[in-house]
Structure 1
Amino acid sequence: MASTSSPRHAVVVEDDADIRGLLVLILEQLDFVVTEAPDGLSGVEAVRSTNAELVTLDINLPDIDGMEVCRRLREFSDAYVLMLTARADEIDRLNGLDTGADDYISKPFSPKEVQARIRALFRRARTPAAPAEDQRQADELERAAVVQQSLLPRETVRVEGYDVAGAFRPTRSVGGDFYDWYQTHDGMHLTFADAMGKGMGAALIAATVRAVMRSVADTPAIADAFGSASATITSDLDQSGSFVTMFHARLDAASGRLSYIDAGHGLALHVPAEGTAQRLVSAGPPVGILDDQLWPAAELELEPGDSLVIVSDGVLDAHASLEEFLVNVEKVTRNGATSDEVCAALLELAPADTAEDDVTAVVVRRKH
């Protein structure tokens, strides 16, 4: 007699097509309905849309790092997460880092071992949801909110020929979102970051990141500045078992040249005056994942009418797909008369009554 139980869903997040195909076969033998995802952002979307009960997750992905994927999944999903890695140093890191994953396995792997690990996962009882917040937790969240608000820039950037604005809307569950900017003799510096976690811990990590990034402002080359800052930040993150996604940029106002480094953030867009918006791809994993990591700098030219738009994952999470997210961000960017208007519209893409995370946006527009 055929089983009438509901099918179990799994998502395979893996950029290597051969390995992805093998994992699909392994999971189908365990009677999972499997969805494939070749990168991190599509993997997050697939887990959300299928309400998957299991995720196999590669660490090295072409857009956002597997650790960051796991962090985003834990904001809405209690699926079992099996991490896959091919490097010994990553295994050491997984042993010492609270990634939110349930287990890991190294490549190359045996199909039978993968199946055994998965069966073992599903024999575990899931930890029940935490009880309602007590007064002590509420007080900590209130203090964390104060810290988080203090990280936002108090000064308005007034760079000739540019319109710059930022907006931030917290949720009850205070996280580590923040943005920071300041003027320089030739333009401005900008940092947009999200520290893993919630509450006071995440807020304090964010405060540390902001201070360290400001301390390297006088280092001439952006790659050298970011490398020095990330080494300092990583030493602090090692103690807390955390990591931070970051987007850091330096603008030369006269030429419109924007030098930037994306460390696992992946949600910055270049919206040109003419043509299709392009997402700026991450140059590497978040800060704090791997020791001695280097992130190459990239450049783009902001022509008159162009905009740089950076948002937090709270905006992405409000969309059913990455494609829908890109279309809507580009649309509101083009429709806004000022950067302030664009920021307000970006926050509205993630309505306050349904948003599960802080929502943050920064827009740098070069005037016509």
Structure 2
Amino acid sequence: MLYNFLIPLADDFAVLNLVRYLTFRTGAALLTAMLISLVIGPGLIRWLKVKQKKGQPIRTDGPQSHILSKAGTPTMGGLMILIGLVASTILWADLSNPYVWACLAVTASFGAIGFLDDFLKVTKANPKGVPGRWKFLAESCVAVAIALWVAHIGSPSLMLPFVKDTMVNLAWFYPIFGVLVIVGAGNAVNLTDGLDGLAIMPVIIAASAFGLISYLVGNAIYADYLQISYIRGSGELAVFCGAIIGAGLGFLWFNAPPAMVFMGDTGSLSLGGALGSVAVVTKHELVLLIIGGLFVLETVSVIVQVASFKLTGRRVFRMAPLHHHFEHKGWSEPTIVIRFWIIALILALIGLATLKLR
């Protein structure tokens, strides 16, 4: 909004030329989102405590330490993230860019689905919430619509990592692929969100990586140098990613162990959907598998656990998702969280390396 308002005045006031620079607006979006989250955080947490009373229902089959230490902690802290992220993006992004609205639409829609899920969990004091099939159907409808929109704006294609300037046209399969990426990312982050601070920092790391990818893919000079396909307008998503980082850092202030609030599905679904939508716009969906590799590992651990138990009656892990397996092995919560953060950082660096290794 500020970009669209101030640019016409830049010729008369030289200082306003700063808003022309994507890097400046990305930094401004990061700081704005972080400040919003930090300012509204205490009041929001107090309000959630009053409304929820008993807080988020804790899985009874989980580690006993969770039942004892996390009882009464409010959920839906993702509202803090959503407010900071959406407000900051609208404030600093070029609102004439359709990709910005596509990513905001996914983020807000997934946030609404997650909010309903959290609301049912809290009001019914049941950790199940919205039935999985209905959640998947709603998420898929949003993802299909956005994938078709992105294909209409640009092309229904996929960029291949490690290959120079190559795009694969997915044609009719593109909407299905979009669902796999966006819905998969949303639910993968959701599964990872099980310990204080565990999900938010890998999201911040992934958003940092995709902020850089968006900037490079959206810049014709850098795209040509790196021999990757140039996507006009995708660079504006660097502002969106900056807002994710800022809102995430603000939330982490309150979510650091011991957490004052959980993000809930309101935050995890929206953040995962946001990352998935950025990957779809930049055509780096396959790179998301690397950068978001921690989320993939957590998801695979659940799939393997369920499949093994149904087929053989045996469990591969002591408990799924994977972070709970290490809890049952005796690892402390901070140890698991920090080590998973390190893994997320390493995977992000590997993912970024694919930009040059072609």
TM-score range, shorter chain: under 0.3
Higher relative contact order (CA 8 A, sep 6+): 2
TM-score, normalised via structure 2 length:
0.27
TM-score, normalised via structure 1 length:
0.26
Q: Which has the higher strand share?
A: 1
